[in-house]
Structure 1
């Protein structure tokens, strides 16, 4: 039997086996290449993240552009400041260790902001933000502050970085020194999407006569909103008609006098204040609405050095702070804070000595007002008060003699007084008569001491202290009583005293002051009263006439 071989099938198998062998060799080569490239397990070390700095460890600070909605903390990073108002001084802005990591702020790092003497009163710095601030949900900005002193103004301002005239600012006052506190600055939902720059002023508008350092931390948004501005109340009557001699003054704004020509009452200083002139009771009045700051610029410098006072009438329904600054070339300026009374016209007579330590009164170029709310102004002028003296004496007192301990009065029997001007006084004393009535006249008064040390006064059964005063130029009168205590010796360890202050009493008329002894709260003993001290402003130039000085009981 013949056997037939199938050569065709055999050839196919050979081809298939050859193909399998080829792929096997190829896979082996690739596998070997991969194995050669792989390091041994012991050589592979996965990367580890940089550890966060632990308390007390230094960290490398980085700058960034923050979003205020995320808060601005200063743990190893913070925004880059831009300073302004350097003038003759300098600034520092450093990320430092917390000087007091306790209480409300236990952060490791904070900002130390330093300003040297010689910087402008309005000096500060700003941070540009990564986006506009959204106040729709949170309207209060809170900042932790460590101030070197109390009563320091911290002003927080927002601006449009492209247009500085679009801005809003809010002030806060420090209440503690050398410890952390959190200050709040309230804004409104209507401020949303207006601002992309935050500006900070520390010790705002105060004189920068010495280096200061403020620490701050944690600028965050919180709940709470300011009231939306509305139409503030307005005065219904004109300011009081001034009585100063128009031929001997320099008037800036008043219908009663001839004003300095060419004055610009609304120079463009980037302020948000709206300035208008309103006719109130037939009298032109300056209205400063939504005040942040406002300049008044003279066409040329004005010399007011021959005068001693600046007069201003103001009215406000809502302001809580108003400052007036006089500005001379440099610029050199210093603010004066108005005492605030709302809902009525207030007449202020401010001694120019409040400004002359900084401002050149021979070269006045501008005035500036800053504060808040809406204010009305009238009768702004520089003058020297008349101090010719009264033509009639003070009214005769009516208290029964049995209820009086009198030091000086023609109406009573007076007790023994050692001196009506002690040798430590700074004043000139004249004993004068007005229509036959004895009066004590003090000129160039800074302070004057009156002593009853030899026969100390026991006023324990009395309820009031009375004095009649007359002045033609004083804007402030202070009255102090000093009790030497049961030991009856000055500075014997049991002395007590208290001073009462009167601002802007009416001038050129006799004023009767009846002061409850209970108002002298610091004088806790009344059995050994040995000193009475008069003082006031303008110190060293004022004139004060005194009559009917006595204690009495009701």
Structure 2
């Protein structure tokens, strides 16, 4: 056991602290030779690296990944890279917080992306639905709300949920060209979208507003413990945070048709 642990730590040290991207599944690139493990997909058919079935439109790449989401599989069936290899080790920063992926799907459903640490810890997945079928589409995932999260450092695994949905048939999903870019614009979008909150930092009263009815607000500390939870059933709500200790918190705001995770600083 000690030998295995030493070998794993040595492998991490050898890899260094870097992120391997873009994930393009091309020969000589990243992704095609990685160890992808399929999970919660009934018999777990392996991820396939194949020729691009539709090399027109926005994706003219030669090779792509093919995931077969089985009807009997869980809605959250997906595939993941190997810890300690493949994508390397990295921190989530403003330089890489915007993640894009090209998908080709025959159904409309959520696609999920998640990152994990060597022990398997994660701050959770971000879900984005495709809007087109039977053609390539690029989806954008904004991870800027998780900047500063305690589980957003020392990440070494990429997890993809290609068809996050209860299925009535087997669905084939192709995905390709996973890129990471500057999250500065993502922060701007976060501050100007239809869910907003102020002030930040906050001393006592924290005001949350949304364009639709707010169903739930959960405030958690850096360990993930829920310190306050309310169900406003209104388009605005004021939380009394005067009883919280000074520090950083995360507030998940769930409203009709939308949800956001906001970083909150308590004075």
Q: TM-score range by the shorter chain?
A: 0.5 to 0.7
Output the CA distance in 2 between the equivalents of 1:138 and 1:278: 31
Work out the CA distance in 1 between the residues paired with 2:75 and 2:166. Answer: 6
State the alpha-carbon separation in 1 of the partners of residues 230 and 171 from structure 2. Answer: 45
Which residue in the other structure is 1:71 paired with?
A: 22
1:145 maps to: 103
Query: Partners in 2 of 1:70 and 1:278 — Cα distance?
Result: 38
- Please give the per-residue CA displacement for 1:237-283, whole angstroms capped at 9, x wherever unaligned: xxxxxxxxxxxxxxxxxxxxxxxxxxxxxxxxxxx8643455899xx
Q: Which residue number corresponds to residue 160 of structure 2?
A: 200
Per the alignment, do residues 194 and 99 of structure 1 end up closer, same or farther by CA in structure 2, a change over 3 Å counting? same
Q: Superposition RMSD on alpha carbons, in Å?
A: 3.4
**Distance of aligned partners of 1:149 and 1:280 in 2 relative to their CA distance in 1, 3 Å threshold:** closer
1:98 equivalent in structure 2: 52
Structure-2 separation of matches of 1:216 and 1:172? 14
What is the aligned partner in structure 2 of residue 130 from structure 1?
Answer: 88
Tell me if the contact between 2:38 and 2:47 (Cα under 8 Å) persists in the aligned partners.
no
Provide closer, same or farther for how the CA distance between residues 115 and 276 of structure 1 changes in structure 2, counting only shifts above 3 A: same
What per-residue deviation string (whole Å, max 9, x for no partner) do you get for residues 89-109 of structure 1?
433310111011112110011
Equivalents in 2 of 1:217, 1:170: separation in Å?
17
Name the structure 2 match of 1:177.
Answer: 133
- The answer on whether the counterparts of 1:69 and 1:220 sit within 8 Å (CA) in structure 2 is no
Counterpart selection for 1:85 from 40, 44, 50: 40
Tell me, yes or no, if structure 1 residue 111 matches structure 2 residue 65. yes
Distance 1:183 1:174, change over 3 A: same
Unpaired runs of at least 5, structure 1: 1-64, 236-271, 282-288, 292-317, 321-339, 343-370, 375-554
Consecutive unaligned residues in structure 2, runs of 5 or more: 1-14, 192-196, 210-222, 233-249, 263-267
- Note the C-alpha offset of 1:196: 1.4
Counterpart residue number, 1:156: 113
- The number of aligned residues is 191
- CA–CA separation in structure 2 for the residues paired with 1:68 and 1:123: 25
What CA distance in whole angstroms lies between the structure 1 residues aligned with 2:224 and 2:92? 23
Q: Distance in 1 between matches of 2:160 and 2:37?
A: 11
Report if aligned partners of 1:140, 1:223 keep a CA contact under 8 Å in 2.
yes
TM-superposition CA deviations, 1:212-252 (whole Å, max 9, x none) = 110001111123334499676469xxxxxxxxxxxxxxxxx
Match of 2:123, SS state, is strand
For 1:344-423, what aligned pairs fall within 5 Å after superposition? 372-373=260-261
Q: 1 or 2 for the larger relative contact order (CA 8 Å, sep ≥6)?
A: 2
Structure number with larger C-alpha Rg: 1
The offset of 1:372, in angstroms, is 4.5
Q: What SS class does the counterpart of residue 148 from structure 2 fall into?
A: helix
Displacement of 1:69: 4.7
Q: Partner of 1:256 in structure 2? A: none
Q: 1:146·1:181 contact (CA, 8 Å) conserved in 2? A: yes
